[in-house]
Amino acid sequence: MASIRPRSLPFRALRAPTALRPTCRLHITPRSTVQQKSQFTRNHSTSSVSADEVSHFSKLASEWWDPMGHSRVLHLMNPLRHEFIAQCLAEGPPPADALSPGSKPANLHYLDIGCGGGIFAESLARTIPLDPAADAPTPTRAASMTAIDPTTALITIAKNHARMDPTVDSHLRSGKFRYLNTTLEDVLASEVESPSESSVTHPQYDVVSLFEVIEHIDFKTTTPEAFLANCLRGVKPGGWLVGSTIARTLPSFILNQVIAEAPWPIGVVPRGTHEWNKFVNPSELHAWSQEALIRAADTAVTRAGAAALEGSQWKCVGTIYVPGLGWKIVPGSEDWGNYFWAIKRGV
């Protein structure tokens, strides 16, 4: 059922993740493709960012926050991301919790990689309490949010939208919520002003999120293991890397390629929307994550071994889009289509 949308939606309200495929044929007039291209072809020579993807998302930008637009199903999925992170934190609480059991302060720092128009980043920033001493209003317990995306047009959209909510606007002004038009590699290359007791000099976060991102990474310039290792380098020991993507399996093929792309009135997305080869199976992701955990523990002079996996955790749960009911977390449906995954870094 994953990719069937309710009939009441406009024809172009595609199932969210699929709407974002680079080959997606949307009825969007490429008004300023050329200028936009020049904006984002900043040379991230070492970056994992795919130039095709960046140009694609620039075109989608104008409708990003339209509740009836092509991002609708992505908006509908967003509350489940909060629930999934809450589940992860309940199963593997951050190490600081052991020191003060019982209290649940808003003390977690978030990094959202590939934030797009800010659907997840803004919603999480909204849960940051205005009073830092106050108890966290939600189980996600956010204290700050840093959201990055390589697409300039999207960061502009995201910032403009964030200003429409006074709470989020005040977080933007206070710096608790930041939108950066940059890449993960650039974030990791930056240095923290006040280095902690550890030897890590780049910023690290309690929760790093990769929602609907991994299938857009250009694996011609990087490998999945290397990209995930980079993500994990941004995760504090004991923190979580969470994400979501789509499986490349037979049920998923039937739903996404055969049914969803069938001619009207059965199909719900235009033909060629999906780029099948970029989908990632949970088992593949799990294997990459093991390798990435080890690589992330490498230092300049030493190679980490299997000991880096100690204390790590892997979590994976499927979600299904039921027309008329919205997204539901359905454990066991990981291989059918969309799923959430998470890696906890060992302490």
Q: Where along the sequence are the contacts to other proteins (CB under 8 A)? A: 8-13, 27-29, 31, 62, 67-69, 72, 75-76, 78-79, 82-83, 122-127, 137-138, 140, 160, 163-166, 169-170
CA distances from 332 to 82, 97, 128, 210 (A): 19, 30, 32, 21
Say if residue 126 carries a ligand binding annotation.
no
Say if residue 193 carries a ligand binding annotation.
no
Nearer residue to other proteins within complex by CB, 82 or 178:
82
| Cβ 151 to other proteins shortest distance, Å | 18
Nearer residue to other proteins within complex by CB, 28 or 200:
28
Spatial separation of the C-alpha atoms in residues 291 and 308, rounded to whole Å: 10
Q: Who contacts 332 (Cβ-Cβ below 8 Å, separation ≥6)?
A: 318
Nearer residue to other proteins within complex by CB, 3 or 140:
140
Say if residue 5 carries a ligand binding annotation.
no
| Cβ 65 to other proteins shortest distance, Å | 9
| Cβ 137 to other proteins shortest distance, Å | 7
| Cβ 250 to other proteins shortest distance, Å | 31
- Among 169, 114, 111, smallest CA distance to 144 is for 111
Task: Extract long-range pairs of 42-46: CB within 8 Å, 24+ residues apart.
Answer: 42/150, 44/150, 44/183, 44/185, 44/186, 46/185
Nearer residue to other proteins within complex by CB, 19 or 285:
19
Say if residue 211 carries a ligand binding annotation.
yes
Counting every residue written for the chain, the total comes to 347
- DSSP of 282-307: HHHHHHHHHHHHHHHT--SS----GG
Residue with tokens 């106050």: 134
Say if residue 212 carries a ligand binding annotation.
yes
| Cβ 61 to other proteins shortest distance, Å | 12
Nearer residue to other proteins within complex by CB, 4 or 80:
80
Cα 85 from chain centroid? 12
Contact 144, 129 (CB under 8 A): no
* Binding residue positions for S-adenosyl-L-methionine: 81, 114, 149, 211
* Binding residue positions for Mg(2+): 212, 215-216
